[in-house]
Amino acid sequence: MTPFKWATAVIAALSIAFIVILAVQNQQQNTPNFDLVGELSPDIEGESARGEAIDLDQILQQNRSKVPAQQTWVAVNFFASWCSGCIVEHGDLLQFHEEGVVNDDGVVCPTQLLGVAFNDEEADVKDFFDRLGGDWPVVVGSETNQIALDFSVLTAPETFLIAPSGLIVLKVIGPVTYQRLSESISC
Amino acid sequence: MLKAKLLRRFSWILLTATFITALIIGSVSRSGEQSSADRAAGLASSIACPQCSGQPVSESNAPIAQVIRAEIKNQVDSGLTDDQIRAFYRTKYGDWVDLNPGNDGIEILVWVSPFLIAGVAIGGMILAFSRRRDADTDNELSDESRKRVQELRTTYESGESHRGQNDRE
Amino acid sequence: MNLAIGLSGIVLSLVAALSGILTIVIGLRYSRKKLLILGARYSWLVLAGMMIATFAMQRALITRDFSVKFVAEQGSSLTPPLFNIATMWSALEGSVLLWGLILAGYLVVVTVKFNGRYTDPMVAWALVVIFFVMGFFALAMIGPANPFQSFDPPIGYDGPGPNPLLQNHILVAFHPPMLYLGFVGFTVPFAFAISALITGRLGEGWLLETRRWTLFAWGFLTAGIILGAWWAYDVLGWGGYWGWDPVENASLVPWLTGTAYIHSVLVQERRGLLRVWNLSLICATFALTILGTFITRSGILASVHAFSAGNFGGWLLVFFSIIVVVAVALIFWRGERLRSPGGMDSPLSREGAFLANNLAFAVFAFVVLLGTVFPLIVEAFQNRQISVGAPYFEKMSMPIGFTLLFLMAVAPLLPWRKAGRELLVHRVEWPAWGAALSIVIAVAVGARGALPLLGFSMAGFAGTSAVRQLALSARRHRFRGFLGRKNGGMVVHIGVILLAVGFIASSSFVDQASISLTTGEKVRIAETDVTYISSNTYTHPNRIEEEVLLEVDGQILSPAVERFIASGQIVPAPDTRITLYEDIQVALLDPPEGQEKKIVIQITRQPMLVWIWLGGLLMLLGTALSLFPQTRRPYLRDNIPEVAGHMLEKDLQE
């Protein structure tokens, strides 16, 4: 074969390889996965709308010196006043906060609900809670950006459930239900 | 004739001098350091908004894009390097969120292969040219050719000719 | 009713195309002239079919016939009339119909132009190829990309209308059709290239036949791409006009190879060289248009422009494979025999410059294609996802851009065959001064930074070279000196240079910032004085527009945000103040809220941005000029070796 034919053959081979790659990739649909489930939770440190200090690490530390039945489960809820799904789930969150979760033996598992504002103004957050009720600590201010990114949040609402050990056991994208949270907690 | 040559030489020198002076003035008077705002803007146009179709956060107003833009500014101000900031977003959302392909592993191919291809092509052409090196290099027209050219010219001037077919549209 | 008419139109086209292929192939095999002539005439039926189908679609859209699924999904009673017509190509199936219509149009034009030559195997095979491509698209329209599927609308049904971004700007009526006129146009030279390979006739005949087509198609593709950039700039609000998005790149790659082709074709015409290279280039260009369509419509790469449906992507990939396999096989089989005799004498010549030009464009096309598909390759081998975005393309295209500007400057100065040093030095003098002057002017008006300055000087270098060429030509031929390939080409080059200058200036010296304002507030941001005057809400049939009035550096601008009723989607509508030396664009990021009607705006200042559009306009003007015949009488110079011509000139002067 002459050099010309060699060159053409090489180009032919490369083109066919290229087409095969395209064909294979055309079939698959890969969605990126940045789930934090099964990993240790990032820390949450900040100030709530009412000025209280919020420290997730502190809660987890305290868990170490308690018996399992008394260790606190933490639910972290990323939300915003501009998001319609957050309004939908707010009732469930209220229920979670006020009633807590009761296990099969009738014991109330200690739970803590933390809210984190997502790309929202403090005034709007206050207004949101004034309208819809609820008094759990909500992180506002400039730290919320870093916290959201630490948790690889995409948009509001997203809710994470953190076991007493600090492991994230559940991630819910979209409005969360009381059911989902309570069935994942055991103590 | 000599004066013309000198003048020509001088004009080339003047030209080069003007060019270089302007270039130096233009390059030097710009501040060397990139401001942090510039750095943040540069990073923002190379980090993709995770929720959009591949657009950088500098070109999207999705909430997460706003969050990332604000945080990039924060990270730049708190002294992190560009590489560290990029690595952060890669960890949080995956490698695909960095619009700048990396420099390690298979990604280096995307930077290197164009140069390889260009090199191969240039090499091929040099080979092709060197094989024709024996072409005649005589630039001067012989008197005979000159005469012939004059003849042809007269023919053209006087009227139709078959030549020029190539250029007729 | 529309469904029946539409489908029958498509079937007609398909049957006519297949009949055409069959008839011509049999006619060639058995040397039946009558069959060849008959076969060619089938193209009229193909066009008739496509026109019937288009008529049916437009009728369905205009009457809001929701029994047609396409109209039910894309149409709406709220869409304004002009946008309603454009709705035809606002989604996949309709756009394939547009492609088919344009292809049928080109097919008929070819048939008319080659009337009386149907018995020439070259023409016959070319028609077969075009019929084949037509057959594919017609078949697709019966299969995965069927625009005439039925739908049972519930009572009182109203469609959602096309994507809001496709119904708020007039360019939706121009950008897609022009792009298609470009893409589809390349089918014709491709068909003749395949025909030349099959018949083994590669004299300059096929080239001349198709040169104008290619320029025509290239012109439309250029227009389509520039309009797309303008549209993006006008609508998005970030001051950007080119995002190196996969779909944008998909339209750029064939443009790059097409540009390489229209240059190297000149070498083939003049010296008979690069024959097989040109064949390969035109086949590659056409294949790349199909590949680009595949990328756009398969959803294989995430893009804001992608509009995919079903498995049409798979069909396109199959078609792409067929084209590639056939073209490469033919070149493998015939290529060697058709290679040009002789070679280039010297790299320092017009041919050499064109060769370098082709190399640069080929590398550029490779870079853009590689960057676009690289994520797919990595995913195939390593099962992980990466991105290759603007930073890569910008870095890689810079040296190539410089090279191309340099070549643009130098090529018109180089004679064919070989350049004498003195000749070159003489010719390059003015352009060199142009380069020096450009950099001085740039520094004088405040431009800073080595790279942009070098870019400006290179542009000046190239610009002066082109102007010099035009001046020489105009001096000799007066107004006719602007016509014809070479001179039109110089005008195109000047357009490209203006575009390059606009690009360098606007991307190197951007000033952008955002800020929030309440009514009556006055701020200074990005070196601009902005006063928030008032806000208004306008209700249109299909959308609600929230507009704010701002005084920006003394002028009133009114950016807005549009919320489309049917889909609920929100679309920005920035406002721009355009002057020759700068564009100031204001985008409304957050619409008025609360008592004080607080807003968030973004200001983007980019110098000389309008030069990009002006340059594009000049490119189109130049293309049109190139299509005009040159002077009737061939002038002396081009038929005698350049050196002799130069010496003759000196003779005349003495």
- Tens digit of each residue's pLDDT (9 = 90 or more) over B44-64: 999 999 988 889 999 988 999
| Domain stop point among C157, C177, C207 | C157
The per-residue pLDDT for C649 is 46
Q: Do B92 and A34 touch (CB under 8 A)?
A: yes
Contacts with C472 (C-beta within 8 Å, 6 or more apart), sequence order: none
pLDDT tens by residue, C172-205: 999 999 999 999 999 999 999 999 999 988 765 6
Q: Does the pLDDT of residue B139 top 60, yes or no?
A: no
Residue B57 lies in a domain: yes
Which of the four pLDDT bands, split at 50, 70 and 90, describes residue C482? confident
Say whether both B73 and B89 belong to one domain.
Answer: yes
Are C126 and C47 in a shared domain? Answer: yes
The token pair at B16 is: 């080069």
Binary contact (C317, A11; C-beta < 8 A): no
> CB–CB of C71/C159 below 8 Å?
yes
Q: What is the pLDDT of residue C645?
A: 41
Q: Contacts of residue B74 in chain A, CB cutoff 8 Å?
A: 142, 145-146
Residues B54 and B80 in one domain: yes
Q: What percentage of chain A has pLDDT greater than the value 70?
A: 100
Pair B107, C382: CB distance under 8 Å: no
From the DSSP assignment, how many helices (H) and strands (E) are in chain C?
A: 19, 10
Please, what is the average pLDDT of chain C? Answer: 90
pLDDT at B161 over 50: no
Q: What is the DSSP letter of A30?
A: P
Mean pLDDT of C246-253: 95
Q: Closest Cα of chain C to A165: distance in Å?
A: 31
- Taking CA–CA distances from C645, the nearest residue in chain B reads B149
Cβ contacts of C294 on chain A, cutoff 8 Å: 22
**CA B23 – CA B3 distance, rounded (Å):** 30
* B125/C355 touch (CB, cutoff 8 Å), yes or no: yes
Residue whose entry in the numeric block shows the structure tokens 């029994």? C67
CATH number at residue B40: 1.10.8.640
Chain B: closest CA distance from residue A125 (Å) = 15
Give Cα separations from C15 to A118, C8, C43 (angstroms): 59, 10, 11
Do residues C148 and C3 lie in contact, with contact meaning Cβ atoms separated by under 8 Å? yes
Same domain, C287 and C364: yes
- C142 and C117 share one domain: yes
User: Which of C356, C379, C402 is the endpoint of a domain?
Assistant: C402
Query: What pLDDT score was predicted for residue B141?
Result: 63
Section B6-19 average pLDDT = 90
Domain boundaries, chain A: 1-30, 45-184
Q: Which domain holds residue B67?
A: 36-98
For chain C, the domain total comes to: 3
Question: What is the radius of gyration, based on Cα positions, of chain A?
Answer: 24
Q: B67 and A150: CB-CB below 8 Å? A: no
Examine residue B112 and state whether it is found in any structural domain, yes or no: yes
Q: What is the H or E stretch that residue C588 is in?
A: strand C582-593
Q: What domain range is C326 assigned to?
A: 163-402
Check whether residue B91 and residue B107 sit in a common domain: no
Instruction: Give the residue from chain B lying closest to C628, CA to CA.
Output: B169
Chain C residues near residue A5 by CB distance under 8 angstroms: 332, 335-336
Residues C290-340: tens digit of each pLDDT: 999 999 988 889 888 877 767 899 999 999 999 999 999 999 998 888 777
User: Quick one: B94 and B108 in the same domain?
Assistant: no
Using CA atoms, how far apart are residues C254 and C489, in angstroms rounded to an integer?
A: 19
pLDDT at B164: 46
d(CA A168, CA A158): 13
Instruction: List the chains bordering chain A where 3 or more Cβ pairs fall under 8 Å.
Output: B, C
What is the pLDDT, as a whole number, of residue A35? 80
Q: Compute the nearest-CA separation of A82 from chain C (Å).
A: 12
Closest CA of chain A from C320, distance in Å: 8
DSSP B111-159: HHHHHHHHHHHHHHHHHHHHTTTTS----SPPHHHHHHHHHHHHHHHHS
Residues C143 and C2 in one domain: yes
One domain, residues B66 and B84: yes
Q: Which of C18, C166, C147 is nearest to C71 (CA)?
A: C147
- Strand duo C560-564 + C555-557: pairing: unpaired
Q: Which of B34, B156, A45 is nearest to C635 (CA)?
A: B156
C517 and C378 in a common domain: no
How far separated are the first and last CA of chain C, in Å rounded? 80
**Torsion sign, CA atoms C613, C614, C619, C623:** positive
The neighbour count for residue A85, using CB atoms within 10 Å, is 17
Question: What is the pTM assigned to this prediction?
Answer: 0.90
pLDDT of residue B56: 94
Secondary structure of residue B47 in the 3-state scheme: strand
Instruction: Looking at the structure, tell me whether residues B77 and B123 fall in a common domain.
Output: no
What residues of chain B lie within 8 A of the CB of C636, using their CB?
153, 156
Cα gap C456→C443, rounded to integer Å? 10
Give tens-digit pLDDT for B68-81: 999 999 999 999 99
Is there a domain that residue C66 lies in? Answer: yes
pLDDT, greater one: A69 or C547: C547
User: What is the fold of A45-184?
Assistant: Glutaredoxin (3.40.30)
Task: Tell me, yes or no, whether B11 lies in a domain.
Answer: no
B114 closest CB neighbour out of C212, C363, C629: C363
Does residue C65 share a domain with residue C128?
yes
Nearest C-alpha in C relative to A11 = C328
**Residue-level pLDDT at C641:** 44
State the complex-level ipTM.
0.88
Collect all residues of chain A within an 8 Å Cβ-Cβ radius of residue C290: none
Strands A108-109 and A53-55: unpaired
Q: Indicate yes or no: CB of C345 within 8 angstroms of CB of B26.
A: no
Contacts of B149 in chain C (CB under 8 A): 640, 644, 648
Nearest to B149 among C306, C347, C644 (CB): C644
- Per-residue model confidence (pLDDT) at position B136: 46
Residue C654's pLDDT band (cuts 50, 70, 90): very low
- Flag whether pLDDT at B159 surpasses 80: no
Task: Confirm whether B22 is domain-assigned.
Answer: no
> Does the pLDDT value for residue C646 go beyond 50?
no
Determine, for residues B18 and C440 on separate chains, whether the beta-carbon distance falls below 8 Å: yes
Q: Are residues B76 and B47 in the same domain?
A: yes
Give the model's pLDDT for residue B168: 41
**B44: in domain:** yes
Q: Are residues C220 and C300 in the same domain?
A: yes
Which of the residues B7, B110, B163 would you substitute to probe the C interface, choosing the one with the greatest number of C C-beta atoms within 10 Å? B110
Name the packing angle between helices C205-236 and C246-271 (round to 10°): 150
- pLDDT of residue C643 exceeding 70: no
Nearest Cα neighbor of C500 from C403, C625, C414, C428 is C403
Q: How many domains does chain B have?
A: 2
Q: String of b and e for A9-47 (b: at least 16 CB within 10 Å)?
A: eebbeebeebbebbbebbeeeeeeeeebeeeebbebebb
Does B43 share its domain with B66? yes
What's the angle, vertex CA C399, arms to CA C396 and CA C402, rounded to 5? 140
Residue C649 belongs to a domain: no
- Residue C337 pLDDT: 81
DSSP assignment of C200-246: T--STHHHHHHHHHHHHHHHHHHHHHHHHHHHHHHHHSSS-S----H
Any chains having at least 3 CB pairs less than 8 A from chain B are: A, C
Which residue in C has a C-alpha nearest to residue A15's C-alpha? C324
> Taking CB atoms and an 8 Å cut-off, how many pairs form between chains B and C?
183
Residue B83 and residue B55 share a domain? yes
Percentage of chain B beyond pLDDT 90 is 41
Q: Are residues B119 and B85 in the same domain?
A: no
Q: Using an 8 Å Cβ cutoff, are C83 and C167 in contact?
A: yes
Kindly determine whether residue B56 and residue C367, on different chains, have CB atoms separated by under 8 Å.
no
Q: Token match 């209280």: residue?
A: A52
What distance in Å separates the CA atoms of residue B136 and residue B130, rounded to the nearest whole number? Answer: 13
Cis ω for the linkage preceding A157 (within 30 of 0): yes
Indicate whether B56 belongs to any domain. Answer: yes
Q: Per-residue pLDDT averaged across C548-569, rounded?
A: 91
Q: Indicate the burial class of A84 (C-beta count within 10 angstroms; 0-12, 13-18, 19 or more).
A: exposed
User: Is C233 among the domain residues?
Assistant: yes
Task: Tally Cβ neighbours within 10 Å of residue B102.
Answer: 17
Inspect the interface and report whether the beta carbons of B71 and A146 lie closer than 8 Å.
Answer: yes
A8 and C332: CB-CB below 8 Å? Answer: yes
Q: Provide the token pair at B10.
A: 């001088």
* pLDDT > 80? residue C644: no
A22 at interface of C, judged by CB pairs closer than 8 A: yes
What is residue B1's predicted lDDT score, i.e. its pLDDT?
Answer: 67
Of C382, C402, C422, at which residue does a domain stop? C402
Q: What is the pLDDT along chain A (187 residues), one digit of tens a residue?
A: 788 899 899 999 999 999 999 999 988 777 777 788 989 999 999 888 888 888 999 888 888 888 888 889 999 999 999 999 999 999 999 999 998 888 888 888 899 999 999 999 899 999 999 999 998 999 998 899 999 999 999 998 999 999 999 999 999 999 999 999 988 998 8
Domain assignment of residue C469, yes or no: no
